[in-house]
């Protein structure tokens, strides 16, 4: 019994630990390649430590590619979309969790059903709509819809709001607090973990978004980092810029990793929250 | 992300502030107003519009022209459509089971009291945060048959290195591999579920002389089946919609290039996208989109039908 337990643990350690290291390898190579000279990236065997270190990749890339513009666009989209998502989903999440009104359950179940709806189905009419508004090649199509809720986040917040004892809210109401005050001064602080999860997830979704920016942003001036990266890897310039590509890759990945280490606890909580069914 | 059912808010519990009040109704609708508008503007309106477009010839610049079922008939003889279905089914039939099983096994291994578990957790989880574009460029290089580091250990072992992203037979498995890199998220969800199984169950089973194997099949798996079900639904919905990786790695310089050698990476959504934004066949693209929509709905529905047979809900016998 003891023996088998030992072997089981060893096996676990080997797979989980060794596998974990393998999972990290692409990161390691991404970072290492970003410091390589272009002719040192495609060599065999692959170099783990760049020789020589080409620090100037990180300065030259700004001249070769409008990185700052891409970054600025990405950040604008991410910030405003997240603000919109957080506000609109808190409002709806609270209403679905705590207020009783006619039609509530119906709207809620219809909303949940839309989770099954593939984006390809709605993308053409949405494109037509935004192009009629003259919003194509502006950042608006990527920001404005965020102010109109998100089924999954609303569901998540509702589940969390429901766990907060009713008595707290009742007490506040007796004291004469208004609905909005109850929501923002009592419920939102109590649901902080869930609100943070929604915020983080929304930031990630927007930062990583690819298909929607691809559809709505065709001019270089409004491109996001993801689109810039995509155009570089297609060798649209006709030159081998793999080393710059890797630098841009680092620019996209590093903020996400920093965010993870800042909010590690909330990430894990998010996994638990999002993984659970109703 | 698909919720299973909608537990009604406890209407039975006597409330301090009476029954359905007008004030509450007004607030309720006010707070969900943005969401309701969003549902109309970005879901229902577009769904209906797209259904209408699917019966038309529509290039966006001129008005849609009604052509009845022509788009749907065209599909049957469209060899690219057939190819895209083949590609997508090959992918989903590999990805869905693999992603669930591998993630579950990893979670099981992690659930033992390993030292430094949080470090491993991080190692497995981080790749799932990497943006599609970044992951695609790293993997394109890592899977390069001549220089990619993936081949290094294979060559040392004397294995022949396949043309991961160039050989039509290896393209789908390679895309599956790239996507599996992000399975840390599912693994951690399973880990949370496995850790949530009360110890008393295992203790009782041990008293009865159950071994590890029995404990897994009779306790761990049934107790976590609802989470497995949830992840399965998610995997079905998302894997039929693969786009980013396919577009980035195999999208070609122009939309007239084949998606991968012999269109071996012509994923369904990629083909739909090309019809809409490459060939301006928006009517046809809408029809294509509706077909995949119906397929996803049917599959989800069928999975829900099987739910009773194998999914166990702890409370209230299946909420």
Torsion of CA B42, B43, B47, B48, to 10 degrees: -80
| Confidence band, pLDDT 50/70/90 cuts, at residue B16 | low
pLDDT at B79 over 90: yes
Q: B273 vs A96: CB contact, 8 Å cut-off?
A: no
Interchain CB contact of B20 with A (< 8 Å)? yes
Q: Does A43 map to a domain?
A: no
| Confidence band, pLDDT 50/70/90 cuts, at residue A110 | very high
Pick the residue of B131, B174, B193 with the most A CBs within 10 A to test the interface with A by mutation.
B131
Residues of chain B contacting residue A147, judged by C-beta atoms under 8 Å apart = 34, 38
Locus of tokens 């579950």: B104
Q: A120 vs B3: CB contact, 8 Å cut-off?
A: no
Q: What is the pTM of this model?
A: 0.90
| Per-residue pLDDT tens over the stretch A159-179 | 889 988 888 888 888 888 888
| Confidence band, pLDDT 50/70/90 cuts, at residue B18 | low
Interchain CB contact of B64 with A (< 8 Å)? no
Could you tell me which residue, B254 or A24, shows the higher pLDDT? A24
Q: B319 vs A256: CB contact, 8 Å cut-off?
A: no
pLDDT at A83 over 60: yes
Nearest-neighbour CA in chain A from B126: distance (Å): 7
pLDDT at B307: 87
We find that the CATH architecture of domain B75-136+162-317 is Orthogonal Bundle (1.10)
d(CA A160, CA A190): 9
Overall average pLDDT of the A111-127 stretch: 95
Q: Does A8 map to a domain?
A: no
Q: Does A233 map to a domain?
A: yes
The domain ranges of chain B are 75-136+162-317
Which residue of chain B has the CA closest to A155?
A: B3
Which residue of chain B has the CA closest to A179?
A: B27
Q: A92 vs B248: CB contact, 8 Å cut-off?
A: no
What's the gap between Cα B70 and its chain centre? 31
Q: Does A178 map to a domain?
A: yes
| Per-residue pLDDT tens over the stretch B203-257 | 999 999 888 889 999 999 999 999 999 899 999 999 999 999 999 999 877 878 8
Q: Does A96 map to a domain?
A: yes
Q: B34 vs A119: CB contact, 8 Å cut-off?
A: no
Interchain CB contact of A274 with B (< 8 Å)? yes
Q: Does A158 map to a domain?
A: yes
Percent of residues, chain B, with pLDDT higher than 90: 61
- Give the three-state DSSP class for A30: helix
Cβ B190 vs Cβ B224: under 8 Å? yes
Pick the residue of A124, A133, A226, A266 with the most B CBs within 10 A to test the interface with B by mutation.
A124
ipTM of the complex: 0.90
Identify the CATH number of the domain in which residue A185 sits.
1.10.3720.10
Q: Does A248 map to a domain?
A: yes
- Give the three-state DSSP class for B314: coil
Chain A (190-219) residues lying within 8 Å, Cβ to Cβ, of chain B: 204, 207-208, 210-211, 214-215
Overall average pLDDT of the A223-236 stretch: 86
pLDDT at B39 over 60: yes
Q: Which of B106, B129, B147 sits opposite A42 (nearest CB)?
A: B147
Interchain CB contact of B148 with A (< 8 Å)? yes
d(CA A106, CA A94): 16
Total domains in chain A come to 1
d(CA A82, CA A200): 9
Interchain CB contact of B29 with A (< 8 Å)? yes
Q: Does A17 map to a domain?
A: no
Domain that holds residue A87: 59-275
């Amino acid at each position: 019994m003891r023996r088998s337990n030992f072997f089981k643990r060893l096996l676990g350690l080997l797979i989980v630990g060794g596998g974990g290291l393998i999972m990290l390898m692409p990161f390691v190579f991404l970072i290492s390649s970003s410091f390589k000279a272009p002719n040192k990236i495609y060599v065999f065997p692959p170099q783990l430590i760049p020789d020589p270190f080409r620090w100037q990749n990180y300065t030259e890339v700004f001249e070769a590619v409008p990185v700052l513009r891409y970054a600025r666009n990405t950040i604008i989209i991410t910030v405003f979309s997240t603000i919109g998502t957080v506000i609109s989903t808190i409002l709806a999440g609270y209403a679905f969790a705590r207020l009783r009104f006619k039609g509530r359950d119906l709207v809620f179940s219809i909303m949940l059903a839309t989770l099954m709806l593939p984006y390809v189905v709605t993308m053409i009419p949405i494109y037509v709509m935004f192009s009629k508004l003259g919003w194509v090649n502006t950042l608006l199509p990527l920001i404005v819809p965020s102010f109109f809720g998100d089924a999954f986040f609303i569901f998540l917040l509702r589940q969390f709001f429901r766990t907060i004892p009713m008595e707290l809210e009742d007490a506040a109401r007796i004291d004469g607090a208004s609905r909005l005050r109850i929501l923002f001064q009592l419920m939102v602080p109590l649901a902080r973990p869930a609100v943070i999860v929604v915020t983080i997830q929304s930031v990630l979704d927007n930062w990583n978004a690819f298909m929607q920016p691809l559809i709505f942003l065709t001019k270089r001036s409004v491109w996001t980092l993801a689109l810039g990266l995509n155009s570089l890897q297609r060798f649209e310039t006709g030159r081998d810029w793999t080393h710059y590509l890797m630098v841009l890759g680092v620019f996209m990945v590093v903020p996400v990793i920093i965010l993870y280490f800042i909010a590690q606890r909330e990430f894990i909580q998010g996994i638990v929250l999002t993984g659970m069914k109703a | 992300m698909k919720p299973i059912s909608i537990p009604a808010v406890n209407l039975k519990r006597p409330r301090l502030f009476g029954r359905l009040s007008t004030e509450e109704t007004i607030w309720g609708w006010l707070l969900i107003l943005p969401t309701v508008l969003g549902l109309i503007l970005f879901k229902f309106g577009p769904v209906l519009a797209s259904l209408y477009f699917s019966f038309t010839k529509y290039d966006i610049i001129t008005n849609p022209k009604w052509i009845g079922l022509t788009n749907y008939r065209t599909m049957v003889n469209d060899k690219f459509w057939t190819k895209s279905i083949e590609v997508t089914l090959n992918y989903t039939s590999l990805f869905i089971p693999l992603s669930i099983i591998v993630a579950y096994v990893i979670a099981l291994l992690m659930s033992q009291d390993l030292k430094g578990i949080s470090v491993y957790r991080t190692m497995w989880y981080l790749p799932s945060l990497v943006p599609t574009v970044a992951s695609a460029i790293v993997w394109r290089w890592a899977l390069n048959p001549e220089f990619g580091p993936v081949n290094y250990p294979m060559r040392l072992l004397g294995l022949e290195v396949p043309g991961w992203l160039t050989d039509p037979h290896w393209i789908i498995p390679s895309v599956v591999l790239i996507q599996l890199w992000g399975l840390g998220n599912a693994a951690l969800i399973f880990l949370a579920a496995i850790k949530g199984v009360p110890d008393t169950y295992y203790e009782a089973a041990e008293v009865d002389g159950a071994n590890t194997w029995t404990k897994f099949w009779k306790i761990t798996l049934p107790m976590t089946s609802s989470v497995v079900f949830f992840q399965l639904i998610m995997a079905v919905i998302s894997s039929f919609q693969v786009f980013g990786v396919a577009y980035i790695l195999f999208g070609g310089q122009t939309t007239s290039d084949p998606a991968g050698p012999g269109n071996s990476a012509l994923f369904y959504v990629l083909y739909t996208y090309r019809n809409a934004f490459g060939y301006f066949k928006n009517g046809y693209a809408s029809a294509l989109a509706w077909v995949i929509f119906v397929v996803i709905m049917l599959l989800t529905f069928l999975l829900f039908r099987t739910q009773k047979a194998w999914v166990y809900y702890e409370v209230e016998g299946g909420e």
